[in-house]
Amino acid sequence: IAGITQAPTSQILAAGRRMTLRCTQDMRHNAMYWYRQDLGLGLRLIHYSNTAGTTGKGEVPDGYSVSRANTDDFPLTLASAVPSQTSVYFCASSAAGPTDTQYFGPGTRLTVL
């Protein structure tokens, strides 16, 4: 069982480019989340999805969009990357929904130049 996978592992991106971070889980978890982690700030929620077909905004949603076409996949898109989006991005999921414990993927390290 893979759990949660994220791709790419790391990426260097020119400012202004479009980028999609991929997240796939094979646990049939209902809820999925995207966080960014920056030094000294901790993990901050970008977007979430409590179930397939629904999404919501977290604490820092500006510049990011998500979709949840099915249970397994939850891609995060940066439409036009800016240097302040340089961060480590973690995808997470929880079984029944937001009342359950969240489990994290391995992360994507993104650098925007």
Taking contact as CB under 8 A, which single stretch among the options 14-22, 64-72, 79-87, 91-99 is the one that binds other proteins? Answer: 91-99
Among 34, 64, 89, 90, binds other proteins (CB under 8 A): 90
User: Between vectors from CA 103 to CA 98 and to CA 62, what angle results, nearest 5°?
Assistant: 65
Q: Are 91 and 104 in contact (CB under 8 A)?
A: yes
Site string for other proteins, 33-52 (x = CB under 8 A): x------xxxxxx--x----
Answer yes or no whether residue 82 interacts with other proteins by CB under 8 A: no
CA 19 to chain centre: 12
CB of 87 to other proteins, least distance (A): 14
Q: Are 74 and 49 in contact (CB under 8 A)?
A: yes
